[in-house]
Structure 1
Amino acid sequence: MRAHDIDTLVSVGRPALAPDGSFAVFATSRPDLVANRNVGQLWRVELPGGSPRRLTRGVADAGPQLSPDGKVVAFLRADAKGKTQIHVLPAGGGEPVQATDAPAGVSSYAWSPDGARFAYTARVPEAGRYGSVEGLEPSAESPRRITGVRWHANGLGYLADRPSHLFVIDAPAVDAEPFYEPAPAVRGAEEEAPAKKLVAASATQLTAGEDSYQGAVFTGDGSEILTVPDRIESERRDLRGTLVAVRVDGAGEREVLGTEHNLAFDDILVAPDGTIAVIAADMGESGIDFIAPGDALWLVEDGAPRRLTDPDSIDLGEVGSHITALGDDFLVQNRTRGRVELLRVTRAGEVTTVLDGDVEVAGHAAARIDDGAGERIVAAVAAPDSFGELVVVGDGPVTDFGATLRTVGVTRPVEREFPGRDGYPVHGWIAVPDGEGPFPVILQIHGGPYASYGIHAFDETQVLVDAGYAVVYSNPRGSAGYGRAHGRSIRGRMGTVDFDDVIDFLDSAVAEDARLDGARVGIMGGSYGGYLTAWVIAHDHRFAGAIVERGFLDPATFQGTSDIGSFFGDEYVGTGADAIAAQSPMAVVSRVSTPTLVMHSELDFRCPLEQATRYYTALKRQGTEAEMLVFPGEDHELTRSGQPRHRIERFSAVLDWWQRHLPTS
């Protein structure tokens, strides 16, 4: 594929399944170059073998949830002001009805058990900020007083002046009379002109104050809503959370699980019998023991959590991981060796595999059915030749969104595992263009570090292969999907065994395949991959060029600038000056002679722009060939969810850099 083919990358979100399993509803999303944004709609497919049909025609419809009786679909869509609101429509199709009018938009939501109302979270801006006063520009707002250890978040901005709160609102009838624009009329001096109504009901705010609330899940009887408060710490970061139940009648809240359990919560589910299940990670007594955190499935019993899965062998921490109830059991996603498989877990802790192979499960749903099979499970998956499909477990795919991608050309990488210099196995992939070669080689390094390369069709690799480069990429020590010991092995020693692993995998790949030209090699990576790229080129000078993107480059300044700086560096590189310097790319930048392109986003609050500008300036001052590319309006997620035009311009810059420093024949 080429850079402009990113519009063929159709992803499939978490599906919703009818209570009787007869149909599924799901959302798709893809980059659109003309609209310069990600676009997508809802789809419906009859099961087990129907053809999918488009259910909505919005710009970016997402997050579908079926009402408990399966007759109504709720979903998220931007309103006329660009704020995300809950909308509803008949499950068979029809005109959507707007259900909420949250000034800053809805973040998360849930149906009540009786289908009569929604619970949702939404940010509440401080008076005078974020457009709450007509005509008041951000530059004219009052100063922000900051007293806590964190104040901003990547992709959002400032935190404390717009806490997220919990609301309830009645669900509108999908067949009700629409609202109309009031016509102009002559009115008396005391008579106010009627305003056009947007929604049928008024929302009731259930929480208040400076704390934010994340997630909304009704209890079985509908009288309470489970949610996780987020309090900005005054002195030191604490990742441990509390799980609370907020009364729907406004009578306050109660604590379900407190911080004494040391858990950070990722997902909450209430099973049909009322049992509370959570995916959560143990943050330890320090509250920040987050490296390879060991997300597990827990049940809340008698006011305490009981763990069902072993975090040392099962990793439930994949982004978007969630729980589905199926009878007395639960479905969860396990990240392993570049795959994400679907597991079934009993309440006794027995684990079986439901869906595995060359897939990455992104979402799932399940239902009991009456056709003799007993149950139906659907999953959204990515695969080597597709960015996203909906599959029925046991029956196979019911969509083929990857067909267009396959027409533009997808190279299937070869999976390999090589022993490193200390005998440790290093697992990864090699993607090679068609032909005999020899081809110049690019070593790619993923972010995280507790993340992983996977088996899905990856545009970053495919575009390079199309341009004539062999691409080598692996999951070195520090990565996810190989057990907690693997993930925690670089704690306090970044740039050691992880350096060895990526270099040893590269050397083994070149030695094994004559099509790879080991004399013509480049290196690139983003985030932690930017860190390791910068570290490698300070210690290994074989590379014709390097691309350091959105990198963690100076741990000393990261602490006071990054949205995770209050704990990330403390755990990974330590707090002592000597330890930080021993693992800092900035401390060894003087050794770099490799021509380097530094790429960063202007609004990156995860690895702030100063990380790039200081590194680039150091390269220039010492005479190392260097260029810098800064993307306006983008954050840390540029390569995944940035403006499509910027993504294309980024690819153009990448290919231009390599053509100048590592030309293909």
Structure 2
Amino acid sequence: MAKGLSEKDLGKFKLVGNIDAFRRRLVFQVTEISVEKDDYFSRLYLYDGRKVKHFTSGKKDGNPRFSPDGKLITFTSKRDKESKEAELYVIPTDGGEARLLTKFKYGIKNIRFTEDGKSIAVVTPIDVEKKPKDDVHIIKEIPFWFNGVGWVYGKRSVVYLVDIETGRKRRVTPKNLDVSQIRFHEGKLYFTAQEDRERKPMVSDLYVLEGRKAKRLTPGEWSVQDFIPLDDGTFILKANTRERGIPTNTHIYHYNPETGEMRKLTAELDRAAYNSLNCDVRGSQRAELVFKDGWVYYIATDGPRANLFRVNLEGKIERVIGGDRSVESFAIGDYIAFTAQDAVTPTELYVLRDGKEKKLTNFNGWIKEYTLSKPEHFKVKASDGVEIDAWIMKPVDFDPGRKYPAVLEIHGGPKTAYGYSFMHEFHVLTAKGFVVIFSNPRGSDGYGEEFADIREHYGERDYQDLMEVVDEALKRFDFIDGERLGITGGSYGGFMTNWIVGHTKRFKAAVTQRSISNWVSFFGTTDIGYFFAPDQIGGDPWSNTDGYWEKSPLKYAPNVETPLLIIHSMEDYRCWLPEALQFYTALKYLGKTVELALFPGENHDLSRGGKPKHRVKRLGLIVGWMERWLKD
């Protein structure tokens, strides 16, 4: 009998990411998942141009950066077991002891050496309001909390400069700006930051620090996510101009702050300039823009692929690293280094040198001991003529003479995508004897803005696409038992699972995860609700009360006949706990078959970053529910 992956095999994956390059050398992070110890452990590795070697001895080392001369590496860690503070270290590239420079109370979000190599810039949150001495929360702004972080009211991320000799630190950016990306050029600090998270939550500007003051260089209308200062005073921007709201693609631009001219360099490729493929065993992604020899290097999602592209200042675009795979992170020194994965191969580190690729690591070579189901692609011509990418994965012990139950998986976002990336969850289901069906319906990323734009039309064309994918799968693959269909999805996929079971009885089992059931409560309780819901549903709960309710799965609870398992994290501030509680209570009150599984201490990222034991438990619950209702 074929040996497929189980939920407990989660602990075997090694997550490779966070590459930095200096000439021929590379430094990168490898994270191990310990189910036994219910924790993650990360270490740094160094490639010297000839071989890869283990570099640091800490258990929480990450986010490495080379100094400008390549002699030092700075990194973050948490080595002091008695402290919850994030630590900043430096270590000689040629080896030696890591030296602690300083600690930061609320963590470290970004680090980068100054150009002279004498200091390290650190982005870290601070309290900008005096905290009360008691345990009462006095809140004066939104958002007041953020998924995976907790309370964020009264906090902003600022830049500190840390002297690498003394460890002394001083804040250099103002408290009113919430900083993200940082770079140095010709002695000046440039950075992206939000000034008004409450009224302009999707706006992030580019600033330059002049003395003690920050000067804004962009007009206060765009979301600037990354940038590169050029010698002539202009900038390469990775930005989103939001003409089409959230479905607008992020592009690469050439921007002149003196004239205000903004040229879209990637206009010929209607694709988002980032990796939006779903994956549940992913390393830390570092995919910052690189400008080299007149070309800007960036990752973009193109259909079911995430590839490395480059564009020059004339707008010529070339695909540098292609293929049916997901390029996760990259760095460029004397050559291109990148991490990549595909649907049956977890992430490893590769280099592209003189047009030839070479695989440098084999941290996940153990996967060859298992039988994996390779996704089989098929096209679905939707009823309005648009083609939809879809796939099935057969059970690992597939017998063409048998009929199999099938599970439809729906991705989140909705502006993300399924494709040629590794999904442990899918492999667990195929190992348990299920066919897995997945697709990129309308709303998905990778197919252009028009395809992704389902604003004010949730549960319409996207729902039709999904049903037509199932119809086509049943028509093409006669080994799928149409009487034993299951459905599951998370976030937007959870919303859609809730929506579907309220609109059809064709599914005999459903698992909804981190879902939305009521757009009114989502608007007022979550970290993004106050701007995401108006963009996606239209208006607000007062100006569009009927619309919010019409698009809420809770309205259709009386129609639900499918046995439903609701999985939700108790600290999910993206789709807060009431979304699950309301739906569960309604279905229970109405006498429906429903169960509720709540995960304490977990957030919206349970499936890909939760405590290992909880992640194993979650997969077991999904499989158990499907086996209970779909197997003889």
TM-score, normalized by the shorter chain, greater than 0.5: yes
Distance 1:347 1:141 in 2: 54
One of 141, 146, 149 as aligned partner of 1:153: 146
Contact preservation (8 Å) 1:295, 1:311 = no
* Deviation, structure 1 residue 532: 0.6
Question: Residue 78 and residue 269 in structure 1: after superposition, are their counterparts in 2 closer, same or farther (change >3 A)?
Answer: farther
Q: Deviations over 1:449-490 (max 9, x none)?
A: 0011121221110111111100000010000011111000x2
The aligned residue for residue 379 of structure 2 is 417
Distance 1:107 1:487 in 2: 30
One of 1, 8, 15 as aligned partner of 1:4: 8
One of 508, 516, 525 as aligned partner of 1:544: 508
* Deviation, structure 1 residue 640: 0.7
Contact preservation (8 Å) 1:294, 1:484 = yes
Q: Superposition RMSD on alpha carbons, in Å?
A: 2.0
Question: Residue 532 and residue 145 in structure 1: after superposition, are their counterparts in 2 closer, same or farther (change >3 A)?
Answer: closer
* Deviation, structure 1 residue 126: 5.8
Q: Deviations over 1:417-470 (max 9, x none)?
A: 111222221102111112213111001101000011121221110111111100
Distance 1:34 1:567 in 2: 40
The aligned residue for residue 650 of structure 1 is 618
Q: Deviations over 1:517-568 (max 9, x none)?
A: 1111111111000111111111110111111111021111111011111111
SS at match of 2:464: helix
Distance 1:465 1:570 in 2: 39
Contact preservation (8 Å) 2:30, 2:43 = yes
One of 522, 525, 528 as aligned partner of 2:492: 528
The aligned residue for residue 280 of structure 2 is none
Question: Residue 273 and residue 646 in structure 1: after superposition, are their counterparts in 2 closer, same or farther (change >3 A)?
Answer: farther
Letter in 2 for 1:513: F
Distance 1:142 1:543 in 2: 46
Contact preservation (8 Å) 1:119, 1:225 = no
Contact preservation (8 Å) 1:38, 1:641 = no
One of 312, 326, 332 as aligned partner of 1:366: 332
1:307 aligns to 2:264 (yes or no): yes
**Bigger shift: residues 631-640 or 37-46:** 37-46
**Bigger shift: residues 116-125 or 308-317:** 308-317
State the TM-score, normalized to the length of structure 2: 0.92
Distance 1:468 1:426 in 2: 26
SS at match of 1:145: coil
Question: Residue 99 and residue 269 in structure 1: after superposition, are their counterparts in 2 closer, same or farther (change >3 A)?
Answer: farther
The aligned residue for residue 466 of structure 2 is 502
Distance 2:217 2:419 in 1: 36
The aligned residue for residue 355 of structure 1 is 321
One of 285, 291, 295 as aligned partner of 2:250: 295
Distance 1:328 1:237 in 2: 34
* Deviation, structure 1 residue 312: 5.8
Letter in 2 for 1:257: T
Contact preservation (8 Å) 1:385, 1:402 = no
* Deviation, structure 1 residue 224: 2.6
The aligned residue for residue 448 of structure 1 is 413
* Deviation, structure 1 residue 410: 2.5
* Deviation, structure 1 residue 41: 1.1
Letter in 2 for 1:403: G
Contact preservation (8 Å) 2:174, 2:214 = no
* Deviation, structure 1 residue 103: 2.3
Question: Residue 43 and residue 275 in structure 1: after superposition, are their counterparts in 2 closer, same or farther (change >3 A)?
Answer: farther
Q: Deviations over 1:562-604 (max 9, x none)?
A: 1111111111112312222222211111111111001100000
1:435 aligns to 2:398 (yes or no): yes
One of 297, 300, 311 as aligned partner of 1:345: 311
Distance 1:37 1:503 in 2: 39
SS at match of 1:101: strand
How many matched pairs? 605
Q: How does 1:143-542 map to 2 (within 5 A)?
A: 143-146=137-140, 148-172=141-165, 200-218=166-184, 220-233=185-198, 236-247=199-210, 250-259=211-220, 262-271=221-230, 275-284=234-243, 289-303=244-258, 304=260, 305-310=262-267, 313-318=270-275, 321-368=287-334, 376-393=335-352, 394-433=356-395, 434-436=397-399, 437-488=402-453, 490-542=454-506
* Deviation, structure 1 residue 112: 0.9
**Bigger shift: residues 645-654 or 161-170:** 161-170
Distance 1:41 1:113 in 2: 26
Question: Residue 216 and residue 79 in structure 1: after superposition, are their counterparts in 2 closer, same or farther (change >3 A)?
Answer: farther
Letter in 2 for 1:145: I
Q: How does 1:589-600 map to 2 (within 5 A)?
A: 589-600=557-568
Distance 1:6 1:653 in 2: 15
Distance 1:510 1:95 in 2: 61
Distance 1:96 1:397 in 2: 29
The aligned residue for residue 536 of structure 2 is 572
Distance 2:136 2:448 in 1: 48
Distance 1:226 1:613 in 2: 41
Q: How does 1:48-87 map to 2 (within 5 A)?
A: 50-80=50-80, 81-87=83-89
Letter in 2 for 1:202: R
* Deviation, structure 1 residue 335: 0.2
* Deviation, structure 1 residue 606: 0.4
Contact preservation (8 Å) 1:616, 1:626 = yes
Letter in 2 for 1:548: T
Letter in 2 for 1:102: F
The aligned residue for residue 191 of structure 1 is none
Letter in 2 for 1:265: V
The aligned residue for residue 107 of structure 1 is 109
The aligned residue for residue 197 of structure 1 is none
Letter in 2 for 1:160: Y
SS at match of 1:232: coil
Distance 1:424 1:365 in 2: 37
Q: Deviations over 1:89-112 (max 9, x none)?
A: 111332211223222222111111
Question: Residue 211 and residue 142 in structure 1: after superposition, are their counterparts in 2 closer, same or farther (change >3 A)?
Answer: farther
Distance 1:60 1:614 in 2: 38
Contact preservation (8 Å) 2:60, 2:79 = no
The aligned residue for residue 614 of structure 1 is 582
Contact preservation (8 Å) 1:12, 1:381 = no
Contact preservation (8 Å) 1:600, 1:631 = yes
Contact preservation (8 Å) 2:575, 2:604 = yes
* Deviation, structure 1 residue 10: 2.2
Distance 1:302 1:2 in 2: 54
Distance 1:202 1:635 in 2: 35
Distance 2:434 2:496 in 1: 21
Distance 2:522 2:257 in 1: 42
Contact preservation (8 Å) 2:177, 2:193 = no
Contact preservation (8 Å) 2:176, 2:195 = no
State the identity %: 27
* Deviation, structure 1 residue 127: 7.3
Question: Residue 237 and residue 566 in structure 1: after superposition, are their counterparts in 2 closer, same or farther (change >3 A)?
Answer: farther
Letter in 2 for 1:626: V
Contact preservation (8 Å) 1:226, 1:244 = yes
**Bigger shift: residues 442-451 or 321-330:** 321-330
Distance 1:276 1:77 in 2: 32
